[in-house]
Structure 1
């Protein structure tokens, strides 16, 4: 069978892969000799919105494909940047490197496969050098429905309830993916995520009757000293056990500056005079991506301090921080999966981490 293109690119989060994804993937395989599936939101901690690693999503997709098609599919694991221009550049670069390995010396013809579903599909217009194959939406399946069904079914559900869940899954995902999800529900990872999903659901319900969805203002402190950065380990959900910058919500009678210093003292027991903090301040920056937090629309103001080259002062976790610790900056680029919300990306943006997170994997 002759194909119009050397390669077709299919971009998505696939959390999890569903029947619509598989139908689109078949379109891509019909259009091109090989397909590069870009697995978005890779290299980050598990959340109810992104519960699966890129390796798990790759395996689910491969399990749903016939063997003859598996050999024609390659995978590019791509992290989020919360910066569209940077993300587009990274996708371009990753695809170029991947195709250079599989098609050495060639200038491949490339198509982009997708569907303009809503505002979340705007990225399809950011790749003008790839011919867009805009296929119709394949059914009404949505990954959100699948995740919610899994989380809403109790761990100790009766056999009849599990049968109902299985039947619901089969209406949205291939059998191989349904079996994978049912097995995943028995894991410790799922049990923790289910608790977090319920916590976030209750949190959202607490302000569901408001005339408009609330917007939250928070502060975070990036404190560096002698090649280290100050982090806390979160003691509560969401993100329990993950690393984060010291910070919290803006108090009604605080300025942003006052809230930042208060949160630093409360969470790390780091007690330095306000004059010393002012001398150590390097910059402040707002991080306001609409999807940066599952708690709701949250805008944070980050204050970046540098205490210089002396010995990092003693710290201790307190308040809602389980622990406080100094982590070498050189190690941060290797641990993005350990961070809460977009805090790794804040560190990357302000410290310009030299150790870039891997963004491509050739299967």
Structure 2
């Protein structure tokens, strides 16, 4: 018997395979900690539900006795395994005894299960996969429906969808977020289909500009899907005859009309960082080169939204940590890398 059993997942949404793992954890330990990943993100077709909504799905499937033994902890995506593992360990340590016996429940589905090997000292409670359902199939059926046809669309998968999940899905389909997520899902599907006949999966290259001035940072609000209405740093795809530097300056000018001389931008450049996590973009494998500029205490450059930006704004750095759920893809983590946002909390 373990003192604590750990279950890690995204649960987007909760299905019967998740519950089988959770019940195994409850059977093996006095208390169970569930780590809900991809927390604090903006809603997307891949991450449509808040961590609290996912906790509700899990808890609604359990008895009162089992709920009393369960702790649910949200952990953000860091797009960096070492940082993520440290965050998970720190979260668990706050809720476990220093020398307690800890088990980690899971099964090796594919490459995304490699995290199970990242926690030496926790004993692996290995389970076989329970059925062949995954959350992607549920999301595809869900967003391929309409609010009035959701129940029928999910019926072929009914055996894999717990009542608590089904109830939330049907309720959510009649709420304000479903239509926008469905539009994003349709856009992303057509985007991927356009490249389906390529001889190899494409790898996209983008650039981003993190522009700091007077302890504020320049942000845009995206005008189009994916991420319509979400905050981002200015940036975009590199063009065929451009260098990364040229693309960065062009995208900054096109989206914000920031017209500083190139020499000033070169003098303000602090560093360039590559963000290449395979899951950082739902559009496909996308590697970005983020350029970090610091203009110090110079006057704030005049800016105006254009191109892919619906809005452009200078935002105080001190406010960014509380805006995490408003950001597109990994742009909050990009800012965190340069500005240390989460270390300020």
Q: TM-score, normalised by structure 2?
A: 0.97
- Rounded Cα–Cα distance in structure 2 between residues aligned with 1:250 and 1:356: 33
The answer to whether structure 1 residue 58 and structure 2 residue 46 are counterparts is: no
Question: Cα gap change, 1:131/1:356 in structure 2, threshold over 3 Å: closer, same or farther?
Answer: farther
1:129 is paired with a residue whose SS is coil
The question of 1:36 aligning with 2:33 is answered yes
Structure 2 segments unaligned to the other structure (5+ residues):
none
The aligned counterpart of 1:74 is 71
1:247 counterpart residue number? 235
What does residue range 24-173 of structure 1 map to in structure 2 within 5 Å?
24-99=21-96, 107-157=99-149, 162-173=150-161
Would the alpha carbon gap of residues 166 and 283 (structure 1) be closer, same or farther in structure 2, given more than 3 Å must change? closer
- Structure 1 stretches of 4+ with a deviation exceeding 4 A read 354-357
Q: Which SS does the other structure have where 2:94 is aligned?
A: helix
The Cα offsets for residues 22-41 of structure 1, whole Å up to 9 and x where unpaired, read as: 01111000000110000000
TM-score (ref. length: structure 1):
0.92
Moved more, 106-115 or 230-239: 106-115
Query: In the alignment, is residue 308 of structure 1 matched against residue 296 of structure 2?
Result: yes
Deviations 1:57-93 (A, max 9, x none): 0000011112221111101100011111111111001
Q: Are 2:141 and 2:154, in contact at CA under 8 Å, matched by a contact in 1? A: no
Q: Secondary structure at the match of 2:48?
A: coil
CA distance in 2: counterparts of 1:70 and 1:239, whole angstroms: 35
Shift of 1:354: 5.1
Q: Deviation per CA, 1:272-292: give whole Å up to 9, x if none.
A: 111111111111111111111
Match of 2:275 among 281, 287, 300: 287
Kept in 2: contact 1:234–1:322 (CA 8 A): yes
Quote the RMSD (CA, aligned, Å).
Answer: 1.3
**Whole-angstrom CA distance in 1 between matches of 2:327 and 2:246:** 25
Among 327, 336, 345, which residue is 2:315 paired with? 327
**Distance in 1, Cα, partners of 2:318 & 2:188:** 33
Change (3 A) 1:236 1:19: same
**Corresponding residue for residue 361 of structure 1:** none
Partner of 1:339: 327
**CA contact 1:334–1:355 (8 Å) conserved in 2:** no
Give CA-to-partner distance per residue, 1:38-66, whole Å, 9 cap, x none: 00000110110111100000000011112
Q: Residue 232 of structure 1 aligns with which residue?
A: 220
Q: Please state how far the C-alpha of 1:311 moved relative to its aligned partner.
A: 2.7
Could you list the runs of 5+ residues in structure 1 that have no partner in the other structure? Answer: 101-105, 358-363
